Amino acid sequence: MALKRKFVPKREKTSFPESWRRLHDAALASYRHSYAPYSSFPVGAAIETEDGSVYGGCNVENASYGGSICAERVAICKAVSEGATRVKRVLVLTPQKALVPPCGFCLQFISEFGSEKTEIGLGDLKELKSVGTMAEYLPNRFGSSHLAK
């Protein structure tokens, strides 16, 4: 008896594991809306919250530079504005083949809403290249426990 093939819709060919596909799709969709007229460096990001929701974000630059915001923080702000405050995974996409990790400001922001186990994936538009944890990226991070009560 021949096995029936399950219908699989066509999608862009990528090397993203199935477990990262929703994040990839959201990050890629956001990447396409990147506003990067000054750096010409578009970035797309997506986060997955502990309840499984996915939020995408892109970098948005500003002529004053200090008013710019990175894709990772846009995605987290979208999640927080919808009531989600626990980040499980983050994916950062850039057009470069080299690994491009979150900046220090974004790592601190991710740590506020994640944990030492929060996964951070890095990739280009078609391939997941690296996955690390918050503990690996920012081992001695500053947090609310350091603030005087």
Beta bridge partners of 119: 89, 133
Q: What is the mean pLDDT of the chain?
A: 89
1 belongs to a structural domain:
no
| Residue-level pLDDT at 10 | 39
7 belongs to a structural domain:
no
12 belongs to a structural domain:
no
136 catalytic per annotation: no
* Pairing outcome for strands 119-123 and 87-93: parallel
Q: What is the dihedral of CA 58, 60, 61, 67, to 10 degrees?
A: -130
Domain range for 76 is 18-142
Return the closest-CA partner of residue 23 out of 110, 78, 92: 92
Return the closest-CA partner of residue 49 out of 26, 16, 15: 26
CATH of the domain at 129: 3.40.140.10
- The pLDDT-based confidence of 14 (bands split at 50, 70, 90) is low
pLDDT in tens, 110-130: 999 999 999 999 999 999 999
> Considering its fold, how many domains does the chain have in total?
1
143 or 55: which leads in pLDDT = 55
Report the C-alpha gap between 124 and 130 in whole angstroms.
10
The catalytic position among 12, 18, 50, 72 is 72
Provide mean pLDDT across the span 27-35.
97
- Global pTM value: 0.86
Phi, psi of 80 (to 5 degrees): -65, -40
